[in-house]
Amino acid sequence: MMLITDVTNSPVVHRTLVLVLMCGVFFCARSAKDDSSLLLDLCDRLKHANGARGPDSQDSRRVSVTGSDGLHTFVLDLFASELQLRGSQHIVQPHERDNNIFCWNGEIFDGLDIAQDENDGVKLFRVLSDASTVEEVYNLFGTIEGPYAFVYYNANSQRVFFARDPLGRRSLLIHKPNVRNPYFFLTSVSTGSDPACEFEELSTKYIYCLELRVLLNSGDTMSAFDSCTTRFPRNSSAGVLYSEPCRVNTVLPPDDWPLITGLESPDYLIQVVDELINQLDRSVELRVRDIPQARSAAARVAVLFSGGIDSTVLAFLAHKHIPLDEPIDLLNVAFENPRKINGQTPMNNTKARRKPQKPEANATPPYMVPDRVTGIQEVEELRKLCPRVWNFVEVNVPYGESQASHPLVESLMFPGRTVMDLSLALALYFASRGSGVVRDHPDSEPVAYNTPARVLLNGLGSDELLGGYGRHRTAYGTGGWKGVIDELQLEIDRIPSRNLGRDDRVISSHGKETRHPFLSLTFVSFVARLPVHFKMDPRVETGLGDKMLLRLAAKKMGLAEASSRKKRAMQFGSHSARMEGEKRGDVSIDLK
């Protein structure tokens, strides 16, 4: 992800462009005269923050770009740290060919043939360097499917292209020039709230192109920056398959559409259930194969695992495509939450809960949170159906440790700054770190364990696509089936601006990558095209009507317990929420 900075609006025109890409890529284009300590310190901090995202290798490049009038020069500095998860050869970024430079943070799962021993960034750059027009460049990214953010400097045209994928599965933050901070930044991760920059998520609607040649020759760069940056909409033209998510099917069911009565597929859904399983199975397969292994018999893949239907289905399908002699790690996080512990005692009133109290001897252990209970139950179902080593990793987070982590987690999740952002970010931060204990069987002594897996499967997306939230049931109550369809379309429209960027910043801080099988554009299109009444039925009870199609699929796969398990939000299932008080999730927190 990148960072572009434009420093102007001063008696002496100083221009600085800074760019940062995930895999820890940093690019700075600046006037040779611009070496202010404030700017250099900010760049150093952003470089350090991005470096944690790619621990395998680091390198840098420098080029100079001078305007045709000879009056102004940009010095382009590029730095990248690589998290290598594809290919057999050691890869060092930035990629360079014919003076073109490419910084790539992503994975290609469809649209470009990638052999087992090839690196997708290397192959994509080869195709990109052969593009001769602007149209060929931005159309190329509509032919590939996968999470990405990138920056591409074309030396001949002196253009910089940058974007992230249509669903925003990779973080890219933007700070636009203003009077107080007259520079422009893009970065995969910030250093938290800072008066020197005002970050927001970069829109996924466009491929951006910055004309350096024009910017170099402009007078007032503050106002010229926008005019020198072209936004190319993502178009679904011929041959451009992955430009944007498919629209939701608006067909309404007949007024007398029958109620579903159980988790046995009715005749009209048998084929659809089979196709859902096939589509999701293919998505999982593409995301777990060809991952380099650090050492023999070590887990390469882990699942963020609550024991709910989403994570269990992903674990079940991953089992099919990972060698049986290789473990799969199931990361299950639980927080010591004094308010929850105190709530188990007789002194369960507002005044008593103001101070942490010691729980009674017969109180539930602090880490036996709802997600731990369902996780323990569900891993046993997986072990019966899929014999292999399942490392159920109990990630236990003491209250003091979670509190001490707030400054770091808040800086990673920024510009997310709500109570809900923090409770979700805390759960993801500790779960993805993967440091906990495992047991041979439920009653055995715990053994310390740190997951070696650097690819983490995440079930995010199933609720949005298949109607798993309570608001979908509410939409039916107020607007009928059309209300549900409108809500499902809204879910797809706002996926890029909600959780994904924040989650990427938090998880990648451990040098790991999260992959979302439910959010393959291919799978999203398949589900979006289905009639709404094939996906859910808000007229029947929860645990059946919500995500109905996925529940039928889970039951057909043999996951009887998981198929009927009710939805529970991660922050409540892990007890990462409401440690200090009852605050609404959308309330802003005071970031230091």
Contacts of 201 (CB under 8 A, 6+ apart): 168, 171, 172, 173, 174, 415, 496, 497, 501
Domain assignment present for residue 431? The answer is: yes
Q: How many domains does the chain have?
A: 2
Ranges of beta strands (E only) in 296-359 are 301-304, 328-335
Domain assignment present for residue 579? The answer is: no
Question: Phi-psi category of 401—alpha, beta or left, where left has phi over 0 and alpha has psi -120 to 50?
Answer: alpha
Domain assignment present for residue 31? The answer is: yes
Considering the domain architecture, whether residues 189 and 319 belong to the same structural domain is answered as: no
Considering the domain architecture, whether residues 209 and 145 belong to the same structural domain is answered as: yes
Considering the domain architecture, whether residues 320 and 389 belong to the same structural domain is answered as: yes
Which residues span the domain enclosing 278? 267-573
Considering the domain architecture, whether residues 227 and 288 belong to the same structural domain is answered as: no
Domain assignment present for residue 127? The answer is: yes
Strands 16-21 and 447-450: unpaired
Considering the domain architecture, whether residues 373 and 303 belong to the same structural domain is answered as: yes
Task: State whether residue 447 is helix, strand or coil.
Answer: strand
User: In this structure, what CATH number is given to the domain that contains residue 306?
Assistant: 3.40.50.620
Residue with tokens 């451009």: 240
Considering the domain architecture, whether residues 213 and 295 belong to the same structural domain is answered as: no
Boundary of a domain, candidates 233, 251, 275: 233
Considering the domain architecture, whether residues 312 and 211 belong to the same structural domain is answered as: no
Domain assignment present for residue 3? The answer is: no
Q: Is residue 23 annotated as part of the catalytic site, yes or no?
A: yes
Domain assignment present for residue 4? The answer is: no
Domain assignment present for residue 486? The answer is: yes
Considering the domain architecture, whether residues 273 and 227 belong to the same structural domain is answered as: no
Considering the domain architecture, whether residues 160 and 282 belong to the same structural domain is answered as: no
In our burial notation (b when 16+ CB lie closer than 10 A, e otherwise), range 559-570 reads bebbbbbebebb
User: In this structure, what CATH number is given to the domain that contains residue 78?
Assistant: 3.60.20.10
Domain assignment present for residue 580? The answer is: no
Question: Phi-psi category of 199—alpha, beta or left, where left has phi over 0 and alpha has psi -120 to 50?
Answer: beta
Q: pTM here? A: 0.90
Q: Would you say 6 and 225 are in contact if contact means Cβ atoms under 8 Å apart?
A: yes
Catalytic residue among 23, 103, 209, 228: 23
Considering the domain architecture, whether residues 224 and 369 belong to the same structural domain is answered as: no
Taking each helix axis as running N to C, give the angle between helix 309-321 and helix 548-557, from 0 to 180 degrees, rounded to the nearest 10.
Answer: 40
Radius of gyration of the chain from Cα atoms? 25
Considering the domain architecture, whether residues 209 and 312 belong to the same structural domain is answered as: no
Vertex 104 angle, CA 101 and 107, to 5°: 150
d(CA 429, CA 408): 10
Boundary of a domain, candidates 180, 213, 233: 233
Considering the domain architecture, whether residues 89 and 166 belong to the same structural domain is answered as: yes
pLDDT string in tens for the chain (592-residue length): 333 333 333 333 333 343 333 465 666 556 656 678 887 888 888 888 877 776 766 667 778 888 777 777 776 667 765 676 766 667 777 889 999 989 888 899 999 988 878 888 889 999 999 998 999 999 999 999 999 999 899 999 999 999 999 999 999 888 777 777 767 777 888 889 988 888 899 999 999 998 888 888 876 666 788 888 999 988 766 566 788 899 999 999 999 999 999 999 999 999 999 999 999 999 999 999 988 887 788 999 999 999 999 999 999 999 999 999 999 999 999 999 988 887 754 334 333 334 444 444 444 688 999 999 999 999 999 999 999 999 999 999 999 999 999 999 999 999 999 999 999 999 999 999 999 999 988 788 999 999 999 999 999 999 999 999 999 999 999 999 999 999 999 999 999 988 999 999 999 999 999 999 999 999 999 999 999 999 999 999 999 999 999 999 999 999 999 999 999 999 999 999 888 766 676 788 775 5
d(CA 151, CA 187): 11
d(CA 86, CA 292): 7
Dihedral (Cα; 85, 21, 103, 131), 10-degree rounding: 110
The two tokens of residue 356 are 């942490």
DSSP assignments along 94-127, one per residue: SEEETTEEEEEEE---BSS---TT--HHHHHHHH
